[in-house]
Structure 1
Amino acid sequence: MNTEHSSPYLCPSCKTNKTRFNLIEQVVTPVKKNPQTGEIVEEYEDLSSQPMHMQYRGPDIRVQCAACGVIEEEISFIKRAEYNKSS
């Protein structure tokens, strides 16, 4: 997991929760699907051999506020806490 979890959080939506959160680990599984049935026809282990399949570049985790339920990238919660501390 990302090491930023040690930073203070503040929910960017409800702006009150500073203590209760759900950390959601994002596990990426690159797949190829049948366009008619939606069935997964292949799971890719090595994307370097798949020139038309872009690698996932999103966050490793997302954070959910356990008070209001909003889900955002971790940096949103960290930046809101930093902003609140300076104001």
Structure 2
Amino acid sequence: MQQKPYFCPNCRSNRVKFSVISNYSQRFLKDAITGEVQEMSEPAPIEQAEPEIQCLVCSFVGNELRFIKQAEREPRAMTQTNPTYM
């Protein structure tokens, strides 16, 4: 994952709550008659060219570059605040 800001291209309100989606493959053998699992291997990660990201606000899933490009199109500007408490 890149160290760049994200912005959801779907809901256009989320810049902070995301999850990365990982895929795994796990081989197993089943009995042809009973359907019972006879042997199961350890899960192995499936290599992806680019990670898939999910927005935790609207549940939209897309490739990482889509979220990065949306953040570049609509950058968040830093604003100076001078809070006064009375």
Is the TM-score greater than 0.5?
yes
Q: Which structure dedicates a bigger proportion of its chain to helix?
A: 1
CA-atom RMSD, angstroms? Answer: 3.5
Larger Rg: 2
Q: What is the identity percentage for the equivalent residue pairs of Structure 1 and Structure 2?
A: 30
Q: Alignment length, in residue pairs?
A: 73
* 2:59 pairs with one of 69, 74, 79: 69
Which amino acid letter does the alignment assign opposite residue 23 of structure 1?
A: V
Alignment of 1:53-68 (within 5 A): 58-68=48-58
CA distance in 1, matches of 2:23, 2:57: 24
Aligned to 1:82: 72
Question: Is 2:15 aligned against 1:18?
Answer: yes
2 CA distance for matches of 1:60 and 1:8?
16
Q: Which has the higher contact order (CA 8 A, sep 6+)?
A: 1
TM-score normalised to structure 2 length: 0.57
Q: Mind listing any 5+ residue stretches in structure 1 that lack a counterpart?
A: 32-55
